[in-house]
């Protein structure tokens, strides 16, 4: 019999192949949870699944595009054939687009909104009703960002999606409270993940110097393991909004208490990232 904080629970993590998703899936597995995981990268998905099974956990792993309602419906049907309902849903899959309004195409908007916003909506739409019907409570974790507190001209579309995730999580938390299902928006700052490599960058933001500055910034970030631990704590203690890392806490505090100072700091960071703009 497994032991740990989440023994006997079933945890679903989207975008589980790398970064925060991988760290989160394996952290829950270490704490006794069985896993349902999905990603668009089958090789990475196989790797995280093997690591979880090596800990004695059951794992259901599938290649799924979270932006597709049809794919998520099929995924949910398969999951619910194996489990009456999941206990914890972690909507983690996400991508980034770097650039301002004139840099960002409508195709970029559809791509980033489809994954970052509709991917979260699809996860909740297809999995939360079964959690409600089962009547045993549960928890939803939506991965937002410190960019969901303060908008940046360098991250126009990305910030838009993360503001949406924060707002959606707040409203969903109020909606699901009566069902004893908690909802958390996790807002990391700089985390060492491959989101830069997977992002779409345009104009000067795509030039080698800008890419190198961004790479150095992310290399100084915290480990994805820190985010995973914050997620598990949020589920245990039913926290609604969780900034992760010192810069995320600072941005959150300044947004409420000194928005003009935050805007100045943000502009300086933008100027360092793209000094010729």
- Tens of pLDDT, residue by residue over 230-245, are 999 999 999 999 999 9
Residues of the chain with pLDDT under 70: 1-2, 194-199, 201-219, 270-277
Render the burial of 144-158: b for 16+ CB within 10 Å, e for the rest.
bbbbbbbbbebbbbb
Local structure of 11: helix, strand or coil: strand
| pLDDT, position 202 | 67
Residue with tokens 């792993």: 61
pTM, two decimal places: 0.92
Q: What is the pLDDT of residue 3?
A: 78
Active site residues: 158
- Give me the pLDDT at residue 241, please: 98
pLDDT number for residue 57: 97
Who's near 96: CB < 8 A, 6+ residues apart?
112, 155, 158, 195, 196, 198, 199, 200
User: What's the CA gap between 135 and 170, in Å, rounded?
Assistant: 21
Q: 10 Å Cβ neighbour count for 264?
A: 12
Q: 228 near 27, Cβ under 8 Å?
A: yes
**pLDDT (0 to 100) of residue 154:** 84
Mark out the alpha helices in the chain (DSSP H runs): 19-30, 42-53, 69-82, 106-116, 118-134, 156-176, 195-198, 208-219, 224-237, 246-257, 259-273
Which CATH number does 10-273 carry? 3.40.50.720
**Are residues 25 and 2 in contact, defined by beta-carbon separation less than 8 angstroms?**
no
According to DSSP, the residues that pair with 111 across neighbouring strands are none
Q: What is the H or E stretch that residue 60 is in?
A: strand 59-63
């Amino acid at each position: 019999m497994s032991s740990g904080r989440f023994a006997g629970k079933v945890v679903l993590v989207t975008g589980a192949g790398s970064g925060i998703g991988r760290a989160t899936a394996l952290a829950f597995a270490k704490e006794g949870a069985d896993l349902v995981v999905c990603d668009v990268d089958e090789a990475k998905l196989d790797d995280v699944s093997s690591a979880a099974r090596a800990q004695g956990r059951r794992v259901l792993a599938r290649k799924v595009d979270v932006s597709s309602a049809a794919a998520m419906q099929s995924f949910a049907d398969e999951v619910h054939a194996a489990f009456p309902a999941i206990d914890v849903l972690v909507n983690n899959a996400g991508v980034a687009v770097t650039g301002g309004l004139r840099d960002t195409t409508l195709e970029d908007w559809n791509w980033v909104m489809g994954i970052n916003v509709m991917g979260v909506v699809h996860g909740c739409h297809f999995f939360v009703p079964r959690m409600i019907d089962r009547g045993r409570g549960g928890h939803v974790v939506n991965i937002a960002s410190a960019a969901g507190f303060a908008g940046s001209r360098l991250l126009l579309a990305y910030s838009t999606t993360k503001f949406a995730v924060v707002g959606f999580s707040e409203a969903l938390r109020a909606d699901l409270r009566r069902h004893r299902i908690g909802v958390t928006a996790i807002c990391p700052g700089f985390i060492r993940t491959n989101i830069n490599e997977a992002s779409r960058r345009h104009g000067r933001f795509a030039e080698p110097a800008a890419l190198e500055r961004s790479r150095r910034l992310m290399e100084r970030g915290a480990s994805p393991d820190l985010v995973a631990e914050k997620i598990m704590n949020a589920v245990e203690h039913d926290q609604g909004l969780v900034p992760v890392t010192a810069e995320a806490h600072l941005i959150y505090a300044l947004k409420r208490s000194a928005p003009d100072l935050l805007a100045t700091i943000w502009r300086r960071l933008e100027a360092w990232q793209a000094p010729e703009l």
